[in-house]
Amino acid sequence: KAGVTQTPRYLIKTRGQQVTLSCSPISGHRSVSWYQQTPGQGLQFLFEYFSETQRNKGNFPGRFSGRQFSNSRSEMNVSTLELGDSALYLCASSLALAGGYTGELFFGEGSRLTVL
Amino acid sequence: QKEVEQNSGPLSVPEGAIASLNCTYSDRVSQSFFWYRQYSGKSPELIMSIYSNGDKEDGRFTAQLNKASQYVSLLIRDSQPSDSATYLCAVSIITGGGNKLTFGTGTQLKVEL
């Protein structure tokens, strides 16, 4: 069974640009969550999607957005990049059901973003 | 106060010893508790989940939960060098918009030969 796949794995952008990251969850998983990981702050929750609907959102500025498609694949977008956006962006999928939630997450390998 | 707190370590234990990792959380309505392991350069992987007070054992791992004290711990028996990693405590917290999983910053464990 294939795991969570994230693309691209590495990318370098400059300040002011925007970036789109992609995540394909494990087959059958309808919940997709996104996290930002930095050495100083650890794992910070960005948002969670279930069946194309954002169910929860973390405390990030509006420059961070996401969406989920009907096949459960998800994308996140960061606009007007800042130096502080340099981080590892992790996607995780789970077997959460409608109206439910589980913290049993399966993480992808992440997309490492460097902003110059 | 952080929602989930862990000692960053490093915690060094000799091979074969018991490693004890601790975590406290601030939100009393937290429902579910998890331990993730993250090797350097890798993504986190779930190793234990615990939902009710008491102990839960899985092989060499035991998770302990005390909701009254808002305290979760992970014991690793017969520690091996392959257990050297960062251990992340995570707590499922109900927010106005739904549930979210909040992570501590992790405890680095080093198992020495």
- For A38-92, what is each residue's pLDDT tens digit? 988 899 999 999 999 998 899 999 999 999 999 999 999 999 999 999 999 999 9
Cα end-to-end span (Å), chain A: 37
The pLDDT of residue B3: 87
- CA A30 to CA A104: how far, in whole Å? 13
List CB contacts (< 8 A) between B32 and chain A.
102-103
Q: Is B108 in CB contact (< 8 Å) with chain A?
A: no
List the single residue in A45, A56, A103 with the smallest CB-CB distance to B49. Answer: A103
Q: Does A42 sit within 8 Å of B34, measured CB to CB?
A: no
Q: Which two tokens stand for residue B53?
A: 């007070």
Statement: residue B110 has pLDDT above 70: yes
Task: Report residue B95's pLDDT band, with 50, 70 and 90 as the boundaries.
Answer: low
Residues of B in contact with A102 (CB under 8 A): 32, 92
Q: How many CB pairs under 8 A join A and B?
A: 56
Please tell me the distance in Å from A81's CA to the nearest CA on chain B.
Answer: 24
Q: What is the CA radius of gyration of chain A?
A: 13
For residue B104, the 8-state DSSP code is -
Distances (CA, A) of A35 to A23, A53, A87: 12, 17, 10
Per-residue pLDDT, A98: 66
CA torsion, ordered B8, B9, B14, B16, to nearest 10 deg: -20
The residue ranking higher by pLDDT, B76 or B29, is B76
- Residue A22 has a CB neighbour count (10 Å cut-off) of 15
pLDDT score of B31 more than 90: no
- B2 interfaces chain A, CB cutoff of 8 Å: no
Distance (Å, whole) CA B94 – CA A28: 24
pLDDT band at A1 (very low <50, low <70, confident <90, very high): low
* pLDDT range class, residue A99, cuts 50, 70, 90: low
Residue A80's pLDDT is 97
**Mean pLDDT for chain B overall:** 92
- Given a cut of 60, whether residue B97 has pLDDT beyond it is no
Contact A45 B32 (CB under 8 A): no
From chain B, pick out residues whose CB is under 8 angstroms from the CB of A58: 100
User: For position B2, what pLDDT does the model report?
Assistant: 73
Encode pLDDT of A4-36 as tens digits.
999 999 999 999 999 999 999 999 999 999 999
Q: Name residues 29-68 of chain A within 8 A of B (Cβ).
A: 33, 35, 41-43, 45, 48, 55-58
Whether the Cβ atoms of residue A14 and residue A116 lie closer than 8 Å to each other: yes
Give the contacts of A115 (CB within 8 A, at least 6 positions apart): A12, A13, A14, A15, A81, A82, A83, A84, A85, A86
